[in-house]
C-alpha cells in the first residue's frame, strides 16, 4: 500500500491518495471511518465531482491494481438461477467491478446473448470514457440516466458487497436506492455483479434519446420479451432510466402477457404506464415533452423486443427443422 498527500494546489480539496495492492488493504482503509475514504475506480465520474468540490473526501483509495476484480466470465445455468416463464435460463454473466466498460463492450459484441448490454453500452459517453470507466463504477455511481444501471435492473442480477465484516449479496432491485445512492455502505466495496443473460430465443431492445452524441440519456428504455408457442407474449420486462430517482421496472407491461403484441396495444400500455411518473421540468426539457418521449420510447422498445423475439423464434424453428 502506498500513500501520498495531495496538496491543495489543485481544483479538488486536499486528500490522501492511497493505492492498494490487495482487496484486504482496500477493505481495511474503508473500515477506518476517520479516513472517510472514497474508492477511485476509473475516475470518470469521481474526478469531475471532486474538481467541482461536490464531494470532499479526506482520502481516495485507488483500487486499479486489484487484478482479481477485472475478470469477466459466463457462469452456466443451474436450478437456482433460472427464471419462471422462460425469461433467462439462468446463465449468468459475472463481471468484476474493475472490468472497463470498453472490455465489456468488446465481449458483448461477440456474444449474441449479450446483445442488449452491447447496444446500451455503445451509448455511454465516448470510446475514451469507456476505456477508463468501469462497470462497477457506473453501478456504484448510480446516475438515474446511466445505461448500465438500467440494463442491470432490466436483466436482473446480484451485486456482491464486501467489507471487513464479510460479504453480502443484494439483488439489482434492492441495489439502487435513490439519486446517486445505492445499498453500498461506506465501509463496503462492490466487488462483482452477476447479470442474468437473456435466453437464446428472448427478444431484446434498447432505445434512448439524448440531445448530443456522448450526452447522458434524457430518457432510456430497455425491454426483454419471451413468447408462447402461439406467438403470444409469455413474459415481458421493461426498464426505464431518467424518469425518477433510480432506474425503474414498469409493471404495467405485464398486462400484455397472453397477447400477440400490436403497435396500438404497445402504445396504449405506454400511455397508461407514464401516468405514474412525475416528470421534471428543467432546462433540458419540459415535463410534457418528457412524458411524450417516455410514451414513444416504451412503445418502441416493446414493439422492437417483440419483433426480435419473433425473428429469433423463426431462426430457432429453422435450426430445429
Ligand X SMILES: Cc1cc2nc3c(=O)[nH]c(=O)nc-3n(C[C@H](O)[C@H](O)[C@H](O)COP(=O)(O)OP(=O)(O)OC[C@H]3O[C@@H](n4cnc5c(N)ncnc54)[C@H](O)[C@@H]3O)c2cc1C
Query: What is the contact surface with ligand X in residues (CB under 6 A)?
Result: 38-46, 97, 124-125, 129, 133-134, 136-138, 140-141, 143, 146-147, 184, 189-190, 214, 216
Question: Whole-number minimum distance, CB 220 to ligand X, in Å?
Answer: 9
- Going by their DSSP bridges, the two strands 233-241 and 181-182 should be labelled as unpaired
CB 242, CB 267: distance < 8 Å = no
Question: Whole-number minimum distance, CB 174 to ligand X, in Å?
Answer: 15
Question: Whole-number minimum distance, CB 60 to ligand X, in Å?
Answer: 8
> DSSP letter at 204?
E
Of 106 and 267, CB closest to ligand X: 106
Of 114 and 199, CB closest to ligand X: 114
Question: Whole-number minimum distance, CB 107 to ligand X, in Å?
Answer: 17
Of 151 and 205, CB closest to ligand X: 151
CB 128, CB 42: distance < 8 Å = no
Question: Whole-number minimum distance, CB 199 to ligand X, in Å?
Answer: 26
316/46 Cα distance (integer angstroms): 45
CB 220, CB 124: distance < 8 Å = no
Q: What are phi and psi of 163, to 5 degrees?
A: -150, 180
Q: Tally Cβ neighbours within 10 Å of residue 180.
A: 17
Of 136 and 239, CB closest to ligand X: 136
Of 221 and 256, CB closest to ligand X: 221
Which of 101-127 are b and which e, b meaning 16 or more Cβ less than 10 Å from the residue's Cβ?
Answer: bbbbbebbeeeebbbbbbbbbebbbee
Question: Whole-number minimum distance, CB 100 to ligand X, in Å?
Answer: 8
Written as nine digits, the cell of 61 is: 483509495
Of 126 and 231, CB closest to ligand X: 126
Burial class (CB in 10 A: 0-12, 13-18, 19+), 73: exposed
Written as nine digits, the cell of 304 is: 422492437
Amino acid at each position: 500500500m502506498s500513500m501520498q498527500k495531495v496538496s491543495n494546489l489543485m481544483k479538488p480539496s486536499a486528500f490522501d491518495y492511497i493505492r492498494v495492492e490487495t482487496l484486504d488493504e482496500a477493505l481495511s482503509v474503508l473500515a477506518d471511518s476517520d479516513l472517510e475514504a472514497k474508492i477511485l475506480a476509473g475516475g470518470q465520474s469521481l474526478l469531475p465531482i471532486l474538481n467541482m468540490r461536490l464531494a470532499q473526501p479526506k482520502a481516495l483509495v485507488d483500487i486499479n491494481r486489484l487484478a482479481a476484480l477485472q475478470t469477466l466470465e459466463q457462469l452456466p445455468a443451474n436450478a437456482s438461477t433460472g427464471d419462471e416463464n422462460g425469461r433467462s435460463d439462468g446463465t449468468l454473466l459475472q463481471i468484476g467491478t474493475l472490468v472497463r466498460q470498453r472490455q465489456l463492450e468488446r465481449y458483448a459484441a461477440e456474444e449474441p446473448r449479450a446483445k442488449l448490454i452491447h447496444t446500451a453500452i455503445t451509448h455511454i459517453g465516448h470510446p475514451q470514457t469507456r476505456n477508463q470507466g468501469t462497470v462497477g463504477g457506473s453501478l456504484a455511481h448510480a446516475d438515474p440516466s446511466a445505461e448500465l444501471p438500467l440494463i442491470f435492473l432490466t436483466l436482473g442480477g446480484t451485486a456482491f458487497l464486501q467489507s471487513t465484516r464479510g460479504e453480502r449479496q443484494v439483488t439489482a432491485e434492492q441495489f439502487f436506492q435513490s439519486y446517486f445512492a445505492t445499498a453500498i455502505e461506506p465501509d463496503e466495496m462492490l466487488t462483482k455483479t452477476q447479470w442474468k443473460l437473456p435466453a437464446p430465443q428472448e427478444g431484446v431492445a434498447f432505445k434512448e434519446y439524448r440531445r448530443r452524441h456522448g450526452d447522458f440519456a434524457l430518457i432510456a428504455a430497455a425491454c426483454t420479451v419471451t413468447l408462447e408457442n402461439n406467438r403470444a407474449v409469455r413474459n415481458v420486462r421493461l426498464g426505464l432510466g431518467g424518469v425518477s430517482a433510480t432506474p425503474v421496472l414498469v409493471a404495467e407491461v405485464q398486462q400484455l402477457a397472453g397477447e400477440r403484441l400490436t403497435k396500438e396495444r404497445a402504445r396504449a400500455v405506454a400511455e397508461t404506464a407514464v401516468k405514474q411518473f412525475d416528470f421534471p421540468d428543467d432546462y433540458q426539457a419540459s415535463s410534457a415533452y418528457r412524458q411524450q418521449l417516455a410514451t414513444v420510447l416504451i412503445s418502441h422498445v416493446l414493439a422492437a423486443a417483440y419483433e426480435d423475439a419473433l425473428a429469433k423464434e423463426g431462426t430457432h424453428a429453422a435450426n430445429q427443422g
